[in-house]
Structure 1
Amino acid sequence: MEVWIGRNGERHGPYQEEQVREWLRSGQLSPDDLGWREGLADWQPLSVLFPQDKPAPAPSPNSPPPLQQRANAVDFDYASFWQRFGAWVIDLIILIIPSLIAMYAFDGLEAYKHLLEQIQNGADMTAAMRTYAQATEAASVASLVITYLYYVFFEASKWQATPGKLALRLRVTDLHGQRITLGRSAARNVVRLSAAIFGLIPLICYLAITWTQRKQGLHDLWAGTYVLNGTAQEQPPQRPSREHGHFNA
C-alpha cells in the first residue's frame, strides 16, 4: 500500500506504508502530519491511519527528516515511449469514427469513389490525387478540428487523459503533478495539431521521449507538462493546505 504525506502545505510521495510507519516510530514524521491512501475519501492524520505506531522523541535539529530533504524533488513515475505510443494508437482508432462521419458529411466518400474510377480509367495519377485532395479539403479540416478538441478537452478534464491514456492508466499533469488548465492543454496540442498538418505524427511529438530525462515529447516541453503513470482517480483528492499552523485538507 502506498501513502501520500501532507506537510507544510505540500504533498509528497507516494511512499511505501512500512516506510511511513518507520518514520513515525523514529519521530521523523509527526502523528499530526496528514496522510492519504487509495480508498480514503479525504486526508487523515497519521495518528488515525497508524494508531499503533508511536513516535520516538524528536530527532536532533541537525538531522532533517527525509521528507524535508525531498520536498523539492518529488518522485514522478514518467510514462515510457511505448506506453504513450500505445495510448496514441488507441486514440487514433477511436478518432476514426468521427473522422469517417466528417468524411461522409463533406462528400469525402464520393470523392474517394471518383478517385478509384479515375485510377481504373488510367487517368494521370498526379492530377487525380490533386483533385481528390481539393474535394476532401473540408473533411480533412473537420477531422483535424475534431482531433484537436478531443485531446484538448480530455487532457484538461477531471480524468486528465484521453480514453487511450485512461486505458493504459496514464495522466497528463503540469510540472508539479497537478491537473493542467484548458489553456495549457490547448497550447500543448497546438504542437500535435501542427505535426498532424505536416504529417509528422508520431515522429515529431514522440521521439523526444526516448532521450529526454523526464520522458517529455516536444509538445510536453513546449507546454510544460508530464505524462505520468497512474490515473487521476488514484491520486489524493486534493492538495493539502495549511491554516492556523496546522493542516486542514
Structure 2
Amino acid sequence: MNEIQYAGFGKRFLAAFLDGIILVIINIILGFALGGNKNLVALVGILVGWVYYAVQESSPKQATIGKQALGIVVTDLNNQPISFVIATIRHFSKFLSGIILLIGYLMALFTEKKQALHDMLAGTLVVNK
C-alpha cells in the first residue's frame, strides 16, 4: 500500500498563484462585460471563485488547473474524493485562513499532515498525485 505524500507548502503556493492568475484574467473580462459596476463585479467575482474551486476540486480530477499543473489533488481524510459541499466549505474557510494575517495558510508549514486551517475545518488533505 502506498503511503500518502502530503503536498508541500511550495507546491500549494505555486498552484494557488497559477489559479489566482487565471481568476484575475476571468474577473477582468467579466469586469468589462459588466460595464465596470464595482458592486456587481465584486459579487460575480466571489461567485466565480467559489464555482472555480468547488467544481474542480469535487470533480474526478480533484484539482484546480493550478493543482493539476503541480501534480497535487484534494482529498478527504481517507484519501477519497471530496463532495461539492465539502469543496464549498473548504473554499469559504479560506477567508478565515487569510483574514488572520495569512496564519491559516502558514499552518500548512507546521502541521503533521501539512494542512492549512481551511483544510482542517473542511476535513481535507492536499496530496501529491
| Total equivalences in the alignment | 129
Give 1:154's aligned residue.
Answer: 56
1:201 Cα deviation after fit:
9.2
Distance 1:85 1:97 in 2: 19
Q: Contact conserved, 2:86 with 2:122, CA < 8 A, in 1?
A: yes
2:121 maps to 1:219: no
1:220 Cα deviation after fit:
0.3
Larger Rg: 1
Greater RCO, CA 8 A, separation 6+ = 2
Provide Cα deviations, 1:75-104, integer angstroms capped at 9, x if missing partner.
310001111000000001111221012211
Provide the TM-score with structure 2 as the length reference.
Answer: 0.91
1:140 Cα deviation after fit:
1.3
Q: Contact conserved, 1:152 with 1:182, CA < 8 A, in 2?
A: yes
**Matching residue within 177, 181, 185 for 2:79:** 177
Give 1:143's aligned residue.
Answer: 45
The structure-2 alpha-carbon separation of the partners of 1:152 and 1:179, relative to structure 1 and needing over 3 Å to count, comes to same
Give 1:207's aligned residue.
Answer: 106
Provide the TM-score with structure 1 as the length reference.
Answer: 0.49
- Runs of 4+ residues deviating >3 angstroms: 199-202
Provide Cα deviations, 1:19-56, integer angstroms capped at 9, x if missing partner.
xxxxxxxxxxxxxxxxxxxxxxxxxxxxxxxxxxxxxx
| 2:82 counterpart SS class | coil
Provide Cα deviations, 1:136-160, integer angstroms capped at 9, x if missing partner.
1211111111011100000000000
Q: What does 1:112-127 align with in structure 2 at a 5 Å threshold?
A: none
Distance 1:78 1:209 in 2: 10
**Matching residue within 76, 82, 96 for 2:4:** 76
The structure-2 alpha-carbon separation of the partners of 1:176 and 1:202, relative to structure 1 and needing over 3 Å to count, comes to farther
Identity of aligned residues (%): 38
Q: What does 1:187-206 align with in structure 2 at a 5 Å threshold?
A: 187-192=89-94, 194-195=95-96, 200=99, 203-206=102-105
2:4 maps to 1:105: no
Q: Gaps spanning 5+ residues in structure 2: where?
A: none
The structure-2 alpha-carbon separation of the partners of 1:186 and 1:169, relative to structure 1 and needing over 3 Å to count, comes to same
Q: Which has the higher helix share?
A: 2
1:107 Cα deviation after fit:
2.2
The structure-2 alpha-carbon separation of the partners of 1:191 and 1:225, relative to structure 1 and needing over 3 Å to count, comes to same
| 2:115 counterpart SS class | coil
Distance 1:147 1:200 in 2: 17
Q: Contact conserved, 1:85 with 1:206, CA < 8 A, in 2?
A: no
Give 2:24's aligned residue.
Answer: 96
The structure-2 alpha-carbon separation of the partners of 1:201 and 1:106, relative to structure 1 and needing over 3 Å to count, comes to farther
Q: Gaps spanning 5+ residues in structure 1: where?
A: 1-12, 15-74, 109-134, 231-249
